[in-house]
């Protein structure tokens, strides 16, 4: 009498079926990516509509379907004219760019000018279209705030990525009902300042105060409130992030930028940067680097570019040079 336990035939059959299915899928995948003759890599030639082997040149498939547009364009302007799709959605517009705009040109599809009655009709349609785009107070609020963000970002030279992030931050503040008791301009300025800090493209508070319609005190108070309530992760500003902009505005070369970065790294290692303004440290490092590389620049010129006083530059650059002297002595 045998003590061996009989195996379940159903389990065995299911396992065999699963294995056969996996093998078939792997075989089909290999056939789609490898040459049947030499097992080389297959390459798709979109221009001729063929799939060929990169090793032996075997044509595996012909007359491939081209999923691109049926028209051709040789420059960006021609591509924009022939394209039948709109711009991608963006958070920088209150309706994310999905609504229809009626053009301001009083011309028909053939380029002919409209009659007087038609112009009046189109003007009425534009008015009603604008009313429908901003039907409630929240949309009107968002439209005004995003326009303010775009205006300030243009004045400060901030890229589209910062504007997009600022728009998302403002939308979150609006959704979480953080605006009552605060101005639209103040919250939009705080959102843009936080976005610039998050994307390592910071600007000083004085620069923001120069383009914003709110006072510096209100801006800083709103910024702290937005960061706390939304739980934004904003790291302390790094003085090195300001150096390239200051060097570019002063028309100095790359040697000054490299030397300024080195001075700031040494100061960071010596822990003398804590509690000091990153803008002042960056300006002082640029001035000290210009002195070390024998390039002419005055404290007044650096102060105008960085929007800080000459006294701050003198105090900070002396600390940096003293640290440099100690490193040389040691």
Segment of 41-55, 154-168, 257-271 carrying the highest mean pLDDT: 154-168
- pLDDT(326) > 80: no
**pLDDT tier at 70, thresholds 50, 70, 90:** low
CA distance 320 to 280: 12
Amino acid 5: pLDDT: 47
**pLDDT tier at 26, thresholds 50, 70, 90:** low
Give per-residue pLDDT as tens, 180-208.
Answer: 889 999 999 999 999 999 998 888 888 89
- pLDDT(293) > 80: yes
Higher-pLDDT residue of 31 and 171 is 171
Q: What is the largest CA-CA distance in the chain?
A: 108
CB atoms within 10 A of CB 124: 10
How large a percentage of the chain has pLDDT more than 90? 27
User: For 107-204, where are the alpha helices, taking DSSP H only?
Assistant: 116-133, 137-156, 160-175, 184-198
Higher-pLDDT residue of 221 and 107 is 221
Q: What does DSSP assign to residue 52?
A: E
**pLDDT tier at 145, thresholds 50, 70, 90:** very high
Least confident interval from 22-31, 45-54, 195-204, 290-299: 22-31
Name the pTM for this structure. 0.65
Closest among 140, 138, 171, 166 to 151, alpha carbons compared:
166
- pLDDT(59) > 70: yes
**3-state DSSP helix/strand/coil percent for the chain, to nearest 5?**
60, 5, 35
| Fold agreement between 25-75 and 239-329 | no
Positive/negative CA dihedral, 82, 85, 86, 87: negative
- pLDDT(152) > 90: yes
CATH topology of domain 25-75: N-terminal domain of TfIIb (2.20.25)
- The ranges assigned to domains in the chain are 25-75, 137-230, 239-329
Mean pLDDT of all residues in 278-295: 90
- Superfamily assignment of 239-329 in CATH? Cyclin-like (1.10.472.10)
- pLDDT(321) > 50: yes
Higher-pLDDT residue of 146 and 72 is 146
Q: What is the CATH number of domain 137-230?
A: 1.10.472.10
- pLDDT(93) > 90: no
Residue 34 CB contacts under 8 Å (≥ 6 apart), including other chains: 40, 41, 42
Closest among 256, 259, 272 to 318, alpha carbons compared:
272
């Amino acid at each position: 009498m045998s003590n061996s336990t009989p195996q379940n035939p159903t389990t065995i059959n299911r396992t065999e079926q699963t294995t056969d299915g996996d093998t078939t899928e792997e075989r089909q995948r290999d056939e789609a990516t490898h040459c049947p003759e030499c097992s080389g890599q297959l390459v798709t030639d979109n221009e001729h509509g063929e799939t060929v082997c990169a090793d032996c040149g075997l044509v595996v498939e012909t007359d491939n379907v081209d999923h691109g547009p049926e028209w051709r364009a040789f420059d960006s302007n021609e591509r924009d004219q022939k394209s039948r799709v709109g711009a991608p959605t963006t958070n920088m517009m209150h309706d994310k760019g999905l609504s229809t705009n009626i053009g301001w040109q009083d011309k028909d599809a053939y380029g002919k000018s409209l009659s007087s009655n038609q112009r009046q009709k189109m003007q009425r349609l534009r008015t009603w279209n604008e009313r429908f785009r901003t039907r409630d107070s929240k949309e009107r609020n968002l439209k005004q705030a995003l326009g303010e963000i775009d205006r300030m970002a243009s004045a400060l030279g901030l890229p589209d990525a910062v504007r997009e992030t600022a728009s998302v931050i403002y939308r979150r503040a609006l959704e979480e009902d953080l605006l009552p008791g605060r101005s639209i301009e103040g919250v939009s300025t705080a959102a843009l300042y936080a976005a610039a800090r998050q994307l390592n493209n910071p600007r000083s508070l004085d620069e923001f105060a120069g383009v914003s319609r709110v006072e510096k005190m209100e801006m800083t108070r709103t910024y702290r409130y937005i960061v706390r309530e939304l739980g934004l992760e904003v790291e302390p500003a790094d003085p090195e992030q300001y150096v390239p902009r200051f060097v570019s505005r002063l028309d100095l070369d790359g040697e000054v930028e490299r030397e300024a970065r080195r001075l700031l790294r040494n100061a960071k290692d010596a822990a003398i940067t804590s509690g000091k303004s990153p803008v002042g440290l960056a300006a002082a490092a640029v001035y000290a680097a210009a002195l070390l590389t024998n390039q002419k620049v005055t404290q007044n010129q650096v102060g105008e570019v960085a929007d800080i006083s000459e006294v701050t530059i003198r105090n900070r650059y002396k600390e940096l040079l003293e640290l440099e002297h100690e490193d040389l002595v040691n």
